[in-house]
Amino acid sequence: MKILVVQDYLRSGGTERQSIRLTRAFAAAGHRASLLTFRPGGALTAELAGLAHASLTRVDFGLDWFAPGLTRAVAAAAPDLVLCMGRMANCYAGFLQSHFPRAAVVGTMRTGKPLPFLFRRSLRRVRHVVANSAAARATLVARHGVSADRVTVIPNALVHPPDATVAPNPELRAQLGAAESTLVLLNVAMFRPEKNQAGLIELCGRLPPDLDWQLWLAGDGPTRSACERLAAGRAFGGRVKLLGLQADPRPLYRAADLAVLASHSESLSNFLCEAQAHGLPAVAWDVVGVGECFIPGESGLLVPHRHEEAFLGALQRLANEPETRRRFAARARAYATAAFDPARQVQAHLDLFARLVAPAA
């Protein structure tokens, strides 16, 4: 099978990482798989080694929607199936299905943000849609009128599954000034408004003054500088650590105590899935799909969206109940390594693709 994965730009987000990982896995399974991006370059360019990849332009004009020569590039690839990843690629998905009716074009629903008109139109035109959470599928059916039989739920896979080193990482804690007794809260995500790292900083600033805590924020993006100014301007005593983009965040997972997410928009958080696989209990606001990243009440605490007091209460409960944290950690590892297994995700895609291209064979 010839599979073309389409993504606008290789920024450092979870969807972009999934695009690269899936393309590589499809090729490893014996298919002719390639990745097509609108823009060249990006934070994840170094991860393309050994992967069939092309960009529509040689010069980066900084425009995510700009896709000159898209039909020509797809025609040259002559795919049996096109998998569109990300909002901009999905805006073109219906257009591609109309121009290449013999190919199966698959859209994806991987966001909790409002969908642009072209994205919504594509949902009605593509052969099928993959949603990465049951909540996203429900949104497609109830809000966008996509028939349930045209949507398949395939969760995200672990991009950074636990490696052979599963022991805690006291050396990193020491480097960042965290004592054994310090409660280390971790968030790994792109710095975007909807990820709300600034709100998370403000929330942690309201924790009891006698609680020894640190907040580690890993990632990069347009709101990072504002968060740096916020952290520097408040009397946090160096408790907020902005660590930048981490090519491999696993050392952070092994050094932290809790995974925290105060996002306003998600579909299925790659960060929470990976943190759970590494045994980090979660505290997160209840937005679309987040409750499927862990087992509320068993491996983490899900609190109402924007309910700041409930979020703070959940943090303080886990800070004061180390036995609960240990119990949640064991449940988290078992759940996440099974639910977000990479081989399982790849096979689910390939099984779906085989069904979609069979009528045209």
CATH assignment of the domain containing 186: 3.40.50.2000
Give 151's strand partners.
129
Residue 147 within any structural domain of the chain: yes
Whether the predicted pLDDT of 329 surpasses 60: yes
- In angstroms, the CA 134 to CA 41 distance is 33
Contact yes or no for 67/54 (Cβ under 8 A): no
Whole-number Cα distances in Å, 82 to 30, 106, 118, 216, 246: 17, 6, 17, 38, 30
Q: Is residue 161 situated within a structural domain?
A: no
Tell me the average pLDDT across 238-243.
Answer: 96
Closest C-alpha among 117, 276, 111, 279 to residue 195: 111
Same domain for 115 and 252: no
| Cα–Cα distance, 228 to 231 (Å, whole number) | 5
Contacts of 175 by beta carbon, 8 Å cutoff, 6+ apart = none
pLDDT of residue 340: 97
- Cα separation, 179 vs 188, in Å, equals 21
9, 125, 138, 200, 221 from 217: Cα distances, Å: 23, 40, 31, 10, 12
Shared domain for 151 and 65, answered yes or no, is yes
Regarding whether 348 and 321 lie in a shared domain, the answer is no
Q: Which of 168, 124, 163 is nearest to 146 (CA)?
A: 124
- Average pLDDT for 46-69: 96
Query: What is the spatial distance between Cα 130 and Cα 351, in angstroms, rounded to a whole number?
Result: 12
pLDDT score for 268 = 93
Flag whether pLDDT at 167 surpasses 90.
no
With respect to residue 162, please indicate whether it lies within any of the assigned structural domains.
no
Reported as a pLDDT band with limits 50, 70 and 90, residue 134 is very high
Read off the tokens for 211: 């609680």
**Cβ contacts of 71 within 8 Å, gap of 6 or more:** 96, 99
Verify that 179 and 323 share a domain, yes or no: yes
pLDDT (mean) for 106-121: 94
The pTM for the full model equals: 0.89
pLDDT digit string, tens, across residues 252-303: 999 999 999 999 999 899 999 999 999 999 999 999 899 999 999 999 999 9
1 touches 80 (CB < 8 A): yes
Stated as kind and residue range, the H or E segment containing 188 is strand 183-188
Residue 339 Cα distances to 133, 155, 274, angstroms: 11, 8, 11
Task: Assess if residue 165 is contained within a domain.
Answer: no
Percent over 70 (pLDDT), the chain: 98
Alpha helices in 32-86 (DSSP H): 70-77
Q: What is the pLDDT of residues 182-236, one digit of tens each?
A: 999 999 999 999 999 999 999 999 999 999 999 999 999 999 999 999 999 887 8
In this prediction, residue 36 carries a pLDDT of 98
pLDDT for the residue 361: 42
* Residue 70 and residue 217 in one domain: no
Structural domain boundaries, residue 117: 2-156+341-360
Cβ burial, residue 49 (10 Å; 0-12/13-18/19+): exposed
Same domain, 135 and 177: no
